[in-house]
Structures are given as C-alpha cells and as structure tokens.
Amino acid sequence: MMPLDLGAKGSCQIGGNLSTNAGGIKFIKYNSMHANCLGLEIALADGTVISNINRTRKDNTAYDLKHLFIGAEGTLGMITGCSIVCPPLPTNKQVCLVASNDFDQVLNCLHISKRELADQLSAIEFMDWESVKLSLDY
C-alpha cells in the first residue's frame, strides 16, 4: 500500500510527491514522503545520474543525498527513480465524527487523540460549520 492518501492521487506522480515532500490526509500515521523514502535516483542538469536506491531504513556508509532532493521541487535535479516504504494494508478501520463549538476544542481533541490512540490514528479532517451547512444544503 502506498503510505500516503493524496487528494491528487489520480493525477500526481511519485517524483512530484517526493519533490514537494507531499504529506496527504494520512500524514498523522504515515508521515511525509521524506520519511517514507528509502533511496533515490536523480538526474542532474548536466546529465549525471546519482543513484542511492536502498531497501533498508538506515545506511551509515556515506552522505544521505536524498535529504537534499526531497522537497527541493526539482531545483537540484529530477527524481527518476525511488524506493518507498509500503506498509501493509490495515486490517480494519473505525470512523468517528466529533462536533465542536470552536477550533481550540478541535485542537484539544487532536492532541488527546494522538496521545491516546498513538499508531491507531491515521487521519483527522476538520470542517467548519459553513462547509458542513453547504454540504447539507446542496
């Protein structure tokens, strides 16, 4: 399973996700592309190809160049290949809808949820009342 659930999942590309360090709506559980990338292959402007595609999380053998390119938005080179962590699909899902009177309560609920649910929590979405009202009206 691809760890991120992106709003543009039908049109985005992995290289672009890495170049922008995309997070997606399940960022709370799976983190950003940076945290899920094991290694990259990069094409530099002069045609040089740098490859450090690994399958292990930790590599102490040299500089970890992927940190320079992830989030650089293509300014340092084009990402042409990568190795991404793909966690197993969850075996079950629970959904909860919580109503609140103000945004401070939403933040408090988020902090408590992250503390109490730890790695079970995968996503949180917030909709203000006007958005909910528009959804209900139309």
**CATH architecture for the domain at 14-84:** 2-Layer Sandwich (3.30)
| Sequence spans of domains, the chain | 14-84, 103-137
Please, what is the end-to-end C-alpha distance for the chain in angstroms? 34
Predicted structure pTM score: 0.69
pLDDT digits (tens, 9 = 90+) for 65-110: 888 999 999 999 999 999 988 888 778 888 888 888 888 988 998 8
Quickly count helices (H) and strands (E) in the chain: 6, 3
Mean pLDDT in residue range 40-59? 88
